[in-house]
Chains A and B, each alone.
Chain A
Amino acid sequence: MTTTATPLDVATVRADFPILGRTVREGKRLVYLDSGATSQRPRQVLDAERAFLETANAAVHRGAHQLAEEATDAYEGARQKIADFVGVQYGEIVFTKNATEGVNLVAYAMGNASTSGPEAERFRIGPGDEIVVTEMEHHANLVPWQQLAARTGATLRWFGVTDEGRLDLSNLDELVNAKTKVVAFTHQSNVLGTVNPVRTLADAARAVGALTVLDACQSVPHGPVDFKALGVDFAVFSGHKMLGPSGIGVLYGRRELLETLPPFLTGGSMIEMVHMAKSTFAPPPARFEAGVPMTSQAVALGAAVDYLNAIGMDRIAAHEHVLTEAALRGLTEIPGVRIVGPPDVVDRGGAVSFVVDGIHAHDAGQVLDSLGVAVRVGHHCAWPLHRRMDAAATVRASFYLYNTLDEVTALVDAVREAQKFFGVR
């Protein structure tokens, strides 16, 4: 990776995150290496949410009073910021409760297309059609597609993963074919750290008229991402993995597609006209946001985007690159540790999963926790991938802008300590 960005000042960044100053387990300094699961939030984001609630809180898109106007402006202003952040238009951003709901929205809307008008023709899916996913998907980008296949009679197919943890694209032409309706895949694996060749997959899908759905949960928080440049049709990411609140996720859909995609959840706010027997629906994005939305969360996510922009996504990516390289080096030097994922930093993000010979991931995680090092253990919602990589469970360290090289050292030392404790070294 080449970057000319000046390194970010981690000490200054850390001062914005009160939680990083606490201790755990009898006075141990907290070493938070679980941002792949959820990130911590800076004061600026917490303050923005509180300020909104203290000055402008109201139900958006309804009411003629001043607070309702201000709340609506804040909510829609956040949508604009987030659209700019990922290189898309304002009307192409739909707020959901999380990324999982975003994937389900697309999958259910496609299922609904069979009973919708002719404008939804291109979303119809049934027996003989194929849905393509990958073996490295998080359950959130796998199970909804299994279920769509089960409901519609379509066939689920998938790309395999190589021993090194890369997508096996050797059968790309065979897997993505004239029968393919959807290709759903992750931008960056939440387990392996692998960054997939999005453009290659998107081009192959477009060539056969298939839609692409990108899981961008692990990419958008960690580096510059432009969905238009990537050429995908839909993409999802979550607020809480990018310094924002939980309870809010984002779905991007190409405008032309959102305009004809049938609704998923129905009710208030998403209608155009309602009669007792039938209704018509609002244009996107409102069509996909039934009910009073998560307003303060959207505002806070907008503040998170401001915070990330002020630091610079290229600098964040460069910082994590350094941490990942150090972690891979440090862990690889320990006899009995196997990295599950690419061993180098080429096309790789800051999730580093590993197994320790003779120590179950749960037990290793417990020793790390006793030393203040917070990591994720288990299958990280990617059970088929773990089966493929021949690991029942792994330990995963994941990095973000506030982590330091000292913390990488603490991780490596703690793994050695676990080996000592369980007597495997």
Chain B
Amino acid sequence: MQLQQMYQEIILDHYKNPHGRGLRDPFDAESHQINPTCGDEVTLRVSLDGETVRDVSYDGQGCSISQASTSVMTDLVVGKPLGEAFKKMDAFVELMQGRGQVEPDEDVLEDGIAFAGVAQYPARVKCALLGWMAFKDAVARSEGAKA
């Protein structure tokens, strides 16, 4: 059944038990992202230690895909240099926009490969990218604040 391919156990696990959820202090910048078609939203904070992601904390409400994807993202980027975090983001975006034609690299995306099935549902790609867009925006804001 197609549905199981989309809602992998990993996704449902992250949805029911999200990692890193909750807004924490201190933080360098915050981003609020919404999906205007469905009203899903996420507020996300980044805390940086030089060029390293010290913490990502978030709160929001939305579908299983948006919430699980944000949870997986925190696992992927926290503790990593910004350059590596953005490389993972690019890989995830490529996977999501690949209409199911992109073979994900588990070494790079870890639990993120579970979202490969979501890429076959164009209407849900935005859900999967919501948290990532908030992360990208928050980092840009923190850099803007420093400049």
Contacts and interface: CB of A to CB of B under 8 A. Distances in A.
A24 to B, nearest CB: 11
A370 interface: yes
A393 B6 CA distance: 21
B124 A362 contact: yes
Given A383-B39, A393-B39, A421 B3 contact: yes
Contacts of A379: 38-39
A26 B63 contact: no
A363 B63 CA distance: 6
Interface residues of B, number: 18
A425 to B, nearest CB: 15
Given A362-B38, A378-B39, A393-B39, A26 B64 contact: no
B1 A370 contact: yes
A379 B38 CA distance: 6
Given A362-B124, A366-B121, A366-B124, A25 B64 contact: no
A138 interface: no
Contacts of B39: 378-379, 383, 386, 392-393
B65 interface: yes
Interface in B75-89: none
A362 B3 contact: no
Interface string B32-72: 00000111100000000000000000000111110000000
A361 interface: yes
A257 interface: no
A389 interface: no
A378 B38 contact: yes
A360 interface: yes
B38 A366 contact: no
A360 B63 contact: yes
Contacts of A25: 2
A362 B127 contact: yes
B7 interface: yes
Contacts of B12: 422
Interface residues of A, number: 18
Given A383-B39, A392-B39, A392-B40, A366 B3 contact: yes
A361 B127 CA distance: 13
B125 to A, nearest CB: 12
Find the residue from A366, A367, A378, A422 having the highest chain B CB count within 10 A.
Answer: A366
A370 B38 CA distance: 19
Contacts of B1: 370
Given A26-B2, A366-B121, A366-B124, A361 B38 contact: yes
Contacts of A370: 1-3
Nearest to B1: A370
Nearest to B39: A379
Contacts of A362: 38, 40, 62-65, 124, 127
A374 interface: no
B39 to A, nearest CB: 5
Nearest to A371: B3
A306 to B, nearest CB: 35
A228 B2 CA distance: 51
A360 B64 contact: yes
Contacts of B62: 360, 362, 392
Given A366-B121, A379-B39, 11 more contacts: A361-B38, A362-B40, A362-B63, A362-B127, A366-B7, A370-B2, A379-B38, A392-B39, A393-B39, A393-B40, A422-B64
15 contacts: A361-B38, A362-B38, A362-B40, A362-B124, A363-B63, A366-B6, A366-B121, A366-B124, A370-B2, A378-B37, A378-B38, A379-B38, A383-B39, A392-B61, A422-B64
Interface of B: 1-3, 6-7, 12, 37-40, 61-65, 121, 124, 127
